[in-house]
C-alpha cells in the first residue's frame, strides 16, 4: 500500500475514533459519573494508549504499524467488551 494512502486511511480512522469517543462515549460517562471521574478516566485511557505507542516506537525494531494496530484494537476492545458484558448482565 502506498504510504500516502495508508496515512490517509489511518488519519480517517483516528478521526472517527476521536469523534466516537467525544460524542457517544464521553457524554454518557460525564452525565452518569460526573466531570471529575469521566475526565480522569479519559486521561488514564489516553495515557495508557500513549505509553503503549511510545513503547512500540522505542523498543520494537522494524515496522511498528502492525504492532500499533494490534495495540489499538486491543485497547479499544477491552473497554468495549467490558461495557457490552455489563449491559448484558444487567438486562437479564
What's the pLDDT tens digit per position in 33-75? 899 998 998 899 889 888 887 887 777 766 667 777 777 788 7
Backbone angles phi, psi at 91, to 5 degrees: -90, -15
Average predicted confidence (pLDDT) for the chain: 81
Rg, C-alpha atoms of the chain: 16
Q: Where are the alpha helices (DSSP H) in the chain?
A: 3-20, 26-33, 35-59, 65-91
* pLDDT for position 86: 76
Is this prediction's pTM over 0.85?
Answer: no
Q: pLDDT value at position 64?
A: 64
Q: How many residues are recorded in the chain? A: 92
* Residue 41: predicted pLDDT: 87
Helices 26-33 & 35-59 angle (0-180, nearest 10): 140
Confidence at 91, pLDDT banded by 50, 70, 90: low
Q: Which three cell numbers mark 53?
A: 505507542
Amino acid at each position: 500500500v502506498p504510504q500516502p494512502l495508508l496515512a490517509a486511511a489511518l488519519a480517517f480512522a483516528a478521526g472517527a475514533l476521536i469523534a466516537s469517543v467525544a460524542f457517544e462515549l464521553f457524554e454518557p460517562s460525564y452525565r452518569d459519573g460526573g466531570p471529575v471521574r469521566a475526565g480522569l478516566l479519559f486521561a488514564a485511557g489516553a495515557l495508557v494508549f500513549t505509553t503503549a505507542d511510545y513503547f512500540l516506537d522505542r523498543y520494537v525494531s522494524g515496522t511498528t504499524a502492525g504492532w500499533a494496530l494490534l495495540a489499538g484494537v486491543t485497547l479499544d476492545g477491552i473497554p468495549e467488551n467490558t461495557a457490552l458484558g455489563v449491559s448484558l448482565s444487567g438486562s437479564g
